[in-house]
Structure 1
Amino acid sequence: MKKVHMIVSGKVQGVGFRYSTYNLALEIGDIYGRIWNNDDGTVEILAQSNDNAKMAQFIQGIRKGPSQWSKVTYVDIKMDNFEDYKDFRMAN
């Protein structure tokens, strides 16, 4: 299972970024994890998938900016080892 920890910078809060990312994960399928806003204006994502191609598609969608109003300037991506998720949710 591939697990990634992403911190997304740019215009990513108040523009539907989390909701669009949630929909992207559902659209691609086999993407599980959590997404939340940070106090510094970034958005943090924990994502996992058994399918490397789907994970690559998800990451590409994040880099592009899944919301038409968002503007992603940088995505810090690291491999991680966090708890297994069975769904994709927006956390508070």
Structure 2
Amino acid sequence: MDNIGCKVIVSGHVQGVGFRYYTSQQAHLCDVTGHAKNLYNGDVEVLIYGRRTAVTKMLQWLNKGPASAHVKEIKVTTIPYEVIKGFASY
């Protein structure tokens, strides 16, 4: 298996626009696990675990986000792969 993990910090107008909800929906479509949570500075942290191709697809979506958001930048850091169930939103 070619499984990877990524920590993504998404900045821009990404809070108060349903970003975490839409991220959870997209994670389900991409077949990745992890979580999305708001940070105090206005960014959103997204952890993604899954097959390399699925994670890449999710990263492409995060670079644009939902229509209600304005993504300015994403910062991606590779993290150790973990087996977790589902995708949570905090």
Q: TM-score, normalised by structure 1?
A: 0.90
CA–CA separation in structure 1 for the residues paired with 2:56 and 2:82: 20
State the percentage of identical aligned residues: 31
In the alignment, structure 1 segments of 5+ residues that lack a partner are none
Over the residues paired in the alignment, what is the CA RMSD in angstroms?
A: 1.2
Q: Which has the higher strand share?
A: 2
CA–CA separation in structure 2 for the residues paired with 1:84 and 1:52: 14
Q: Give 1:59-70 correspondences, 5 Å limit.
A: 59-65=59-65, 67-70=66-69
Whether 1:38 and 2:54 are equivalent positions in the alignment is no
Counterpart of 1:7?
A: 9
**Aligned-partner SS, 1:13:** coil
In the alignment, structure 2 segments of 5+ residues that lack a partner are none
Counterpart of 1:52?
A: 52
Q: TM-score, normalised by structure 2?
A: 0.91
CA–CA separation in structure 2 for the residues paired with 1:34 and 1:82: 14
Which portions of structure 1, spanning 4 or more consecutive aligned residues, are displaced by more than 2 angstroms? 81-84
